[in-house]
Structure 1
Amino acid sequence: MKLFVRTGFVSLLLALFMVPAIAAYAATSPNLGMATAFGILAGTYANAVSGTTINGDLGYTTGPAVAPTVSGTTHSPPSSKYSTAGTDQGSASANLNSQACTFTFPPGAVDLATDTSHGTLGVYAPGVYCTAASSDASIGTAGITLTGAGAFIFKVNGALTTVDNSAVRLAGGASACDVFWAPTAATTLGAVSTFVGTDIDASGITIGRAVTWSGRALAFGGTVSTDADTITVPTCAATSSPTPTPAPAPAVPPTGAASGGLPWVSLACLISGTVVISTVWVRRRRA
């Protein structure tokens, strides 16, 4: 007697080669925790002239010579909200630093407004943009436009500077809630400039005169300086993880004999998230 195996039908989906990888954002907005409410969070807050408005909370250990207008609450030690916000700032900074770069600029200082190595002049899609080692970043007079829904993260291995009258603009569904700056050296914003996003910079943040900023200056442990500026904490919708929809269970072939008296053998496995089903008929023949 010999065994004869005939494959009558095989249905196979090769997920690795035929199914595209599930799309995922390369950049994700970190959880700011208690720091979310702060327009300015600093160790030392310096403000020598009147005219600064903070639409949000203010936190510092050493306060300014001239108090700004604050729509929220001012927190100082021993406020638990102040200390917790500082801890949460550190966690958010670690999250940003852990995210892989989706694009790294060529070595050397880069002007984000004139760079074309990343793509269209002055236009940035969601992603994680990194300068090379020991390379500063600046935003020139032409400014930049962030376009598209998603997170924008700029990891600067040096100082971050914007020139006078420059602007960071939003388009195509981009939100100030999802823009983050993470320099390793101090931040300096030029006078009469428009800035967007959360800047986490323990090295210190200097805000030039009459700057309009939609975002947060987070420098817990460092110094933040203002000069008749307006800083507004953006209103952000609460984020929640979507509930996945379970995939339907694959149909199970009937047991017993199929047409022609052939028994069924059904195999199922999971490859890269795709259910693969193979059905084989097996027939025994006598010599």
Structure 2
Amino acid sequence: MVFRSGFACFVGRPNAGKSTLTNALVGSKIVITSAKPQTTRHAVRGIVTRADAQLILVDTPGLHRPRTLLGERLNDIVRTTLAEVDVIGFCVPADEKVGPGDRFIAAELAALRAPVVAIVTKTDSASRKQVAEQLIAVSRLGEFADIVPVSAVAGEQVGVLADVLVGHLPEGPLLYPEDVQTDNDTETRIAELIREAALEGVRDELPHSIAVTIDEIRLRENNPGITEVFATIHLERSSQKGIVIGHKGSRLKAIGTTARAGIGELLDTRVHLDLHVAVEADWQRDPKKLDRLGF
């Protein structure tokens, strides 16, 4: 039997369902998800290993018109990834009309060497008529190797999409051990789980202003069955602290409760989470602060 292995990248405008689709294909939550645009800020690799192939999915930030240095760096991540993968999945949501952002991305993809599979996502959020109309609209955006409708939430066509992507991979050996689902380090995954919890319920520009760093992870001295995690939530303005902390600390407590559950599942241990909120003025526009925060 021919064994294939290689890299696939999902690209699309912000909030096109790329991260949810990555998690569905991997079968585990390796990427945080949110209704907020630009949730993904790093190239996250999810690994799908099966009898005939190993598919490494690279989830990237959404391509967008940058307004900050952070936005420029996120776009650079996307373009670098696109130049290196074996197949590209171009995600367009079924419940939103094709727009200038989709046409811009389609034009960029046309200049690349890798085959492009157009993926109409979120089909569970649209009627059959809407899905059919979107498939036609997407087909007019360019020449695609395949076009696949899929719902990551409902699990519809996920296996079909995996088969299509694998079909575009070159023959090759295993690139990662069979039991590995992501190459992201634990510290990064914990920071992302905290940021995911912090994104819930906030609006306007605040989601873009939130970054999380891990200060320390250690086993509790008198009880090694508990892992202590110390983390900092970074904001851009002092006025944002009140929103994140909430009345008498209620919102920060809720963030901790939500994040602690995910971290406990990840580490398979009880977790004590200590969160601190700090202000890094205009960090999205400051190269030194971006470097320090891991961007």
TM-score by length of 2: 0.24
Structure holding more helix per residue: 2
Larger RCO: 1 or 2 (CA < 8 Å, sep 6+): 1
Structure holding more strand per residue: 1
Larger Rg: 1
